[in-house]
Amino acid sequence: MAATATGVYHTSYASELRLRHTNAERFRLVLMIVGLLALPWTVNAYWLGIVNTIGIAVIGAVGLNILVGFTGQISLGQGGFLAVGAFTSALLARAGVPVPLAMLAAVLMTAAVGAFFGLPALRLKGLYLAIATIASQEIIVFVVRRWGWLTGGQGFLDVERLTLFGWRVPRHSFEFVWYWIIAGLAVLAVISARNLFRTALGRSFMAVRDQDIAASAIGVDLARTKLIAFAVSSGYVGLAGALTSHYTETVTWERFTIDVSIQYLAMIIVGGLGSVAGSVYGAAFIMLLPPLLAELATLVRGFAPFVADQLPAVQAAAFGLVIVLFLLFEPRGLDRIWQRVKDYIRFWPFRY
């Protein structure tokens, strides 16, 4: 029966530290695991491919949310960091390094680059930091486009199909195999991010977001914390970039423009700033929008051909409209909407 629980009480430290406290939460977790396991067998290759891109976006969005949502440092430089991760991993793989190691190296490299580009955050805040990150994004893209050595003068990199321990991913089950790799890494990313914010380091990130001057007064080393936040966040984004390069098998600068940075920001705004689950919801929402609109366009082609003819413009307009509408009506995003749904059911018949 609803509305009888007066709260969740713990009788041991172990139970307090658990990630799920109530039976309802545990049940939903089981549902989700079942869903994740069953998914690749229920959708066709095209939609599985889209799910894979969502998975990669989840990793990137979680990373970005650590920086923007939890540490309050506005950053528009994701595209550049994705590029660093992608190029590092691709170049190392071409040089013969086994792919898992190459990806690990990409994570570390992007974390280092992220920490470097996080140096302006020590002097700048808010809007100025945002503008500095725009500059870093444009400079990284410029370097990637012009530095011939990176791509051997070709302008883009070809990446060999993924070969793990001598076994090459077969063509007919390409999406299927990648689903398990990406889903596994995404789950790891989400759990590790969740855990991060139960540690002292995570709490110091949030302290910096809320009131950084007061935080430094109680002993949080601002410089160190901000740089670590940039590094950790960029590590996640670097992993997403490395996955992109091996999954799509080409690395071109066109994937890493400022439009991509804006897309990731949209994901965490729509999903909910400062919430790991929100990053997942937001990533799924924003990445599903274009294909769903494409399906809608073919459906209404009969009486509204305009949508199908101008599909890219409609998709761009829908993207902008979604951002504006969410900010106007629910600035705390999908996560908050889900919370409200749960609360409504939980407290029924009471209002609060």
Partner 1 sequence: MRRLLLAGAASAALVLAAGCGGPGGSAGGDGGEKEIVIGVIADLTGATGDVGTPYNEGMLAYVDYLNAQGGIKGHKIKAISEDYAYKVPVAEEKYRKYVSEGAVAIQGWGTGDSEALRSKVKDDELPFMSASYAEVLTDPAQSPYNFVVAPTYSDQMRVALDYIAAKDPTAQVAVFHHDSPFGTAPVADGEKWIKDKGYQLGYKAYAMKTGATDYIGLLQQAKDQGAKYIVIQNVSSPAAVVARDIAAQQLDMTIVCLNWCADELFIKTAGTAAEGHLMVQPFAPPGANKPGHQPIREYAQSKGIDLDAKGLHFVQGWYTMHVMAKGIEKVLEDGKEVTGPNIRAALESMPAVDTGGVIGPVQFSADSHRGSTASGIYQVSGGKLTEVAAAVVPKS
Partner 2 sequence: MTEFIQLTVYGLANGAVLALAALGFVLIYKATRVINFAQGELLLVGAYLFYTAFVLLRLPLVGALVAGVAAAAVLGVAVERLVLRPLIGEDPIAVIMVTIGLAAVLKATVQMFFGTAPKAMPKVLPAGSVAIAGAPVPLDRLLAVGIAAVVLAGFTVFFRWSRHGIAMRAVADDQQAALVQGISIRRVFALAWVLAAVSALIAGILLADISEVSQNLAGFGLVVFPVVILGGLDSVPGTIVGGFVIGLLSQYAEGLAPGASQVVPYVALVLILLLRPYGLFGQVRIERV
280: Cβ contacts below 8 Å, ≥ 6 apart = 58, 61, 62, 190, 271
Nearest to 133 by CA among 244, 29, 237, 56: 237
Phi, psi (degrees; rounded to nearest 5) at 167 = -105, 120
Which range, of 28-36, 57-65, 80-88, 91-99, touches partner 1 by CB under 8 A? 28-36
161 is a site residue for partner 1 (CB under 8 A)? yes
Torsion angle (degrees, nearest 10) of CA 86, 87, 89, 95: 160
252 is a site residue for partner 1 (CB under 8 A)? yes
Across-strand partners of 250? 158
**Residue linked to tokens 């599903």:** 288
213 binds, among partner 1, partner 2, none (CB under 5 to 8 A by kind): partner 2
Nearer to partner 1, 192 or 310 (CB): 310
124 binds, among partner 1, partner 2, none (CB under 5 to 8 A by kind): partner 2
312 is a site residue for partner 1 (CB under 8 A)? yes
Are 239 and 59 in contact, with CB atoms under 8 Å apart? Answer: yes
Are 102 and 92 in contact, with CB atoms under 8 Å apart? Answer: yes
242: Cβ contacts below 8 Å, ≥ 6 apart = 85, 86, 88, 89, 102, 103, 106, 107
343 binds, among partner 2, partner 1, none (CB under 5 to 8 A by kind): none
319 binds, among partner 2, partner 1, none (CB under 5 to 8 A by kind): partner 2
Phi, psi (degrees; rounded to nearest 5) at 30 = -65, -45
**Shortest reach from residue 119's CB to partner 1, in Å:** 29
Residue among 317, 342, 343, 348 that touches partner 2 (CB under 8 A): 317
Which range, of 47-55, 183-191, 235-243, 325-333, touches partner 1 by CB under 8 A? 47-55
Nearer to partner 1, 64 or 228 (CB): 64
- The residue type found at 69 is G
Distance CA 78, CA 317 (A): 22
**Shortest reach from residue 252's CB to partner 1, in Å:** 6
Which range, of 4-12, 138-146, 190-198, 227-235, touches partner 2 by CB under 8 A? 138-146
Nearer to partner 1, 2 or 300 (CB): 2
Residue among 91, 105, 132, 243 that touches partner 2 (CB under 8 A): 132
Q: Are strands 167-168 and 157-158 parallel, antiparallel or unpaired?
A: unpaired
148 is a site residue for partner 2 (CB under 8 A)? no
Which range, of 123-131, 226-234, 251-259, 272-280, touches partner 1 by CB under 8 A? 251-259
Q: CB under 8 Å, gap of 24 or more: what pairs does 327-334 form?
A: 327/269, 332/272, 332/273, 333/268, 333/269, 333/270, 333/271, 333/272, 333/273, 333/275, 333/278, 333/281, 333/282, 334/270, 334/271, 334/272, 334/278, 334/281, 334/282, 334/285
Residue among 27, 128, 180, 348 that touches partner 2 (CB under 8 A): 128
End-to-end CA distance of the chain: 16
190 is a site residue for partner 2 (CB under 8 A)? no
Residue among 112, 196, 216, 248 that touches partner 1 (CB under 8 A): 248
280 binds, among partner 1, partner 2, none (CB under 5 to 8 A by kind): none
Across-strand partners of 158? 250
Residue among 135, 305, 310, 347 that touches partner 1 (CB under 8 A): 310
Distance CA 273, CA 43 (A): 30
Residues that bind partner 2 (CB under 8 A): 68, 74, 120, 123-128, 130-132, 134-136, 138-139, 142, 146, 211, 213-214, 217, 258, 262, 265-266, 269, 273, 310, 312-317, 319-324, 327-328, 331
